[in-house]
């Protein structure tokens, strides 16, 4: 029989109730702003700059930002595994602000929808507008609908039958001189319709790159579907629907969006709520 030398333990290995419930439980830590943690998988270390119910954004000392899901035991804090959770809302002595920056209306009750409407091109546009301006739109009683493109916009406007007290605002992607969208928009002549647009190929680009931890939105060659091209260039191994959930999850306030979109949406809301 082979004998080994005595092993040294820090204490009595049989001391205490080692089967007690909760032993080894990973602590939950609120992802407060400026908390410095390390992603356990990638080793990316940075301070918390944003957090929602699904993901947290970290910024390292070089200003690079990356988005990580709030998975159990996914982070290291001072070398120990922790689970980050969304922090509780901070109490404020001043008026609460909505995601758009406007003063939030407390105890809001549903208002009867106006006849006026805002149309956007697709479901992603509608989701982004809801994320930032949803509170404001419910206060004003404005419904947002999506069109699945603007190729048939003149016919859609005619079917809507705009008029005094029944205004229509339309948010269009890639509304730049010479584009197909600009030619379609030029065919709308009603004073009760406002077509406003941003310069981006897709509303994804209206989210600031830094919010997603990327330096810029990649250029996609002609002939390549834009969303699929972006996903490939960023190295995201996900379907467009999952990529969009990742993008939308990183957006929490108007400051996360480019001013070219902010200004146009505010303009449309003012137009459809203006008393004739």
The CATH number covering residue 163 comes to 3.40.50
3 within some domain: no
**Is 104:98 a contact under the CB 8 Å cutoff?**
yes
Flag whether the pTM goes above 0.75: no
Angstrom distances, CA of residue 16 to CA of 7, 8, 20, 23: 20, 18, 9, 11
239 within some domain: no
161 within some domain: yes
104 within some domain: no
The CATH number covering residue 49 comes to 2.30.30
Within this chain, do residues 32 and 123 fall inside the same structural domain, yes or no? no
Within this chain, do residues 141 and 44 fall inside the same structural domain, yes or no? no
64 within some domain: yes
Structure token digits, residue 255: 């400051």
Output the pLDDT for position 2: 30
Within this chain, do residues 180 and 260 fall inside the same structural domain, yes or no? yes
Within this chain, do residues 37 and 81 fall inside the same structural domain, yes or no? yes
Output the pLDDT for position 247: 94
Within this chain, do residues 52 and 186 fall inside the same structural domain, yes or no? no
Provide the domain limits for residue 59: 28-85
Within this chain, do residues 182 and 135 fall inside the same structural domain, yes or no? yes
Within this chain, do residues 77 and 151 fall inside the same structural domain, yes or no? no
Within this chain, do residues 47 and 175 fall inside the same structural domain, yes or no? no
Within this chain, do residues 170 and 266 fall inside the same structural domain, yes or no? yes
Output the pLDDT for position 59: 85
Within this chain, do residues 192 and 264 fall inside the same structural domain, yes or no? yes
Output the pLDDT for position 103: 60
Among 42, 70, 85, residue at a domain's last position: 85
Which residues in the chain land under pLDDT 50? 1-23
Within this chain, do residues 136 and 261 fall inside the same structural domain, yes or no? yes
Output the pLDDT for position 234: 94
Output the pLDDT for position 19: 40
Output the pLDDT for position 65: 83
Q: How many structural domains comprise the chain?
A: 2
Within this chain, do residues 137 and 256 fall inside the same structural domain, yes or no? yes
41 within some domain: yes
96 within some domain: no
Output the pLDDT for position 108: 55
pLDDT in tens, 83-94: 999 988 765 556
189 within some domain: yes
The β-bridge partners of 85 are 30
Q: What is the DSSP string of the chain?
A: ---PPPPP-SS-TT-S-TT-TTTTPPPEEE--TT-EEEETTT--EEEEEEE-SSEEEEE-TTS-EEEEE--TT-EEETTEEEEEEPPPPPP-SS--B-TTSSBP-TT--PPPPPS-EEEESSHHHHHHHHHHHHHHHHHHT-EEEE-S-STTHHHHHHHH--BTTB-EEEEETT--TTSHHHHHHTT---TTEEEEE-S-SSGGGGB-GGGGT-SSPPP--TTS-HHHHHHHHHT--S-HHHHHHHHHHT--SGGGB-HHHHHHHHHHHHHHHS--
């Amino acid at each position: 029989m082979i004998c080994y030398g005595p092993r040294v333990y820090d204490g009595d290995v049989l001391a205490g109730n080692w089967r007690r419930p909760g032993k080894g439980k990973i602590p939950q830590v609120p992802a407060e702003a400026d908390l410095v943690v390390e992603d356990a998988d990638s080793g990316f270390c940075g301070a918390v700059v944003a957090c929602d119910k699904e993901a947290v954004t970290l910024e390292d000392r070089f200003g690079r930002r990356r988005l990580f899901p709030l998975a159990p035991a996914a982070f290291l804090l001072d070398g120990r595994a922790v689970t980050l959770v969304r922090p509780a809302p901070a109490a404020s002595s001043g008026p609460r602000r909505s995601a758009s920056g406007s003063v939030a209306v407390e105890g809001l009750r549903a208002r009867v929808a106006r006849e006026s409407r805002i149309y956007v091109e697709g479901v992603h546009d509608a989701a982004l507008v809801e994320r930032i301006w949803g509170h404001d739109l419910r206060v004003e009683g404005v419904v947002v609908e999506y069109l699945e493109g603007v190729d048939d916009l003149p016919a859609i406007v005619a079917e809507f039958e705009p008029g005094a007290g029944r205004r229509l605002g339309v948010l269009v992607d890639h509304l730049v001189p010479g584009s197909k969208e600009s030619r379609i928009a030029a065919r709308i002549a009603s004073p009760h319709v406002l077509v406003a647009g941003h310069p981006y190929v897709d509303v994804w680009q209206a989210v600031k790159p830094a919010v997603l931890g990327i330096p810029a939105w990649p250029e996609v060659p002609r002939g390549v579907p834009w969303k699929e091209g972006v996903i490939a260039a960023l190295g995201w191994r996900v379907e467009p629907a999952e990529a969009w959930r990742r993008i939308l999850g990183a957006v929490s306030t108007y400051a996360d969006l480019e001013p070219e979109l902010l200004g146009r949406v505010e303009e449309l809301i003012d137009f459809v709520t203006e008393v004739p």
